[in-house]
Copies of this chain bind each other. A is one copy, B any other.
Amino acid sequence: MTKATIDNVAALAGVSIKTVSRVVNKEPNVRQSTRDKVLKAVAELDYRPNLSARSLAGNRSYVLGLLYDNPSANYVIDVQDGVLTTCRAQGYDVLIHPCNHQDPDIGKEVTNLIRQTRIDGIILTPPLSDVSAILEVLKDSRIPFVRIAPTLQKDLCPYVETNDAEAAYDMTNQLISLGHRRIGFVSGHPDHRAVSHRFEGYRAALVENHIELDDDLVVQGYNSFESGEEAANTLLNLSARPSAIFAANDDMAAGVMMVAHQMGIDIPRELSVAGYDDTPVAHQIWPSLTTVRQPIQAMAQKATDLLLKQLMGKEVQLPASMLSSSLIQRDSTGPAGPAR
């Protein structure tokens, strides 16, 4: 009952195992009547190919590796779901592999992973998409891979990205159109280049509106709530404090709001706050946070799709793909008050 091998199916259908293999793998050159016989036998015996055997004989595993080192549970889960959705539809499985992008042995770790599990391809998410030790290993081992939101060496493999800078630009513009002129910015972790590049959008919007970039208004954050709090402490204690703060992610924006609350600063009347990512906290916090939503699941699906196409030998005619983020207007932003 727990068995039923290709031999059983072949015997029942009265064909050779090679024919069964052809049918199961949807190969061409099988007469329709033969195909039907085989499928009937497959159904009758409830046959499932043994993946280990297939993997050993075919020299591939039908498993993709998903590498990540992202402290945001929501981001990781969204990526996983996207990857899994596409993989399941194509009969692939996923091996998740969280790791530490600062580990000096990260290259060896990835080598191990590839050699041991014989995964067929790898999906890299930020910030790993920009870790050169990993890219090096992947290139050398000639294993197909894709990257989500890389910022470096984009010619290395297919990739999927979003218009981060553009969305940040839109958000900043929106704040400016609400009358804000002194807009603080809490930048992202320098290792997360995609996040840190959101700063470019902020800068571009200022330039376009002829607002001088004030260095005092730009504070380095590290993507965490706590770093947002620290940044807010700096910004809100400035002699001329900003009327709006745009944080490069929601966690930091939440930190900003926490400090504002503690200082008795009313949001959005005295201070507008904007974030980026649309994590759950963004709508659970009070007041709810104006932010930017990224199509994380869609990006992951697209990336997986690109990878699978590569594996099937199809030339990827669209080696790069751009998906759009969108602005989510909530209650934490409003018109600038009278100058203070």
Q: Tell me the A residues contacting B by CB distance below 8 Å.
A: 2, 48-53, 55-56, 61, 73-74, 76-78, 80-81, 84, 93-96, 98, 112, 115-118, 141, 225, 251, 254-255, 257-258, 261-262, 280-281, 283-288
Q: Using CB atoms, name the residue of chain B closest to A66.
A: B96
In the complex, A112 Cα to B284 Cα: how many Å? 38
Kindly state the separation between the CA atoms of A49 and B52 in the bound complex, as whole angstroms.
14
Across the interface, A77 reaches (CB within 8 A) one of B48, B73, B287, namely B73
Find out whether the CB atom of B116 lies under 8 angstroms from the CB atom of A49. Answer: yes
Residues of B within 8 A of A255 (CB): 284
B283 touches A225 (CB 8 A): yes
Is there an interface contact between B284 and A52, defined as CB atoms closer than 8 Å? no
- Count of chain copies: 2
How many angstroms from the CA of A32 to the CA of B156 in the assembled complex?
Answer: 46
Sample of 19 further A-B pairs with CB below 8 A, known A50-B118, A225-B283: A48-B115, A51-B117, A52-B118, A53-B56, A56-B56, A73-B280, A95-B95, A225-B280, A225-B284, A251-B280, A251-B284, A257-B286, A258-B286, A261-B286, A262-B286, A280-B281, A281-B284, A285-B286, A286-B286
> A77 to B118, alpha carbons, bound, how many Å?
25
Interface of A is mostly: helix
A265 to B: closest C-beta gap in Å: 12
What are 26 A-B residue pairs whose CB atoms fall within 8 Å in the complex? Answer: A2-B115, A50-B56, A51-B116, A51-B118, A52-B53, A52-B61, A52-B118, A56-B56, A73-B73, A73-B76, A73-B77, A73-B280, A80-B96, A80-B98, A81-B98, A84-B98, A95-B95, A96-B96, A225-B283, A225-B284, A254-B284, A258-B286, A258-B288, A280-B281, A281-B284, A284-B285
Contact, CB under 8 Å: A96 / B117? no
Task: Please give the distance in Å from A226's CB to the nearest CB on chain B.
Answer: 10
Asked if B93 and A95 make an inter-chain contact with CB atoms under 8 angstroms apart, the answer reads yes
Most buried by B among A49, A112, A115: A115
- The residues of B that contact A281 with a CB separation of less than 8 Å are 280-281, 284-285
In angstroms, how far is the closest chain B Cβ from the Cβ of A290? 16
6 tightest A-B contacts by CB? A52-B55, A73-B77, A73-B73, A254-B284, A52-B56, A48-B115
- Give CA–CA (A108, B214) in the complex, Å: 61
A96 contacts B94, CB within 8 Å? yes
Q: Which residues of B contact A254 (CB under 8 A)?
A: 284-285
A276 to B195, CA, bound (A): 31
CB closest chain-B residue, reference A78: B73
Closest to A50 in B: B118
A52 CA / B49 CA spacing, docked (Å): 14
Chain B hits for A118, CB < 8 A:
50-52
Complex Cα–Cα for A117 and B78 (A)? 24
A95 to B88, CA, bound (A): 12
Chain B residues with CB under 8 A of A280: 73, 225, 251, 281
Contacts of A80 in B (CB 8 A): 96, 98
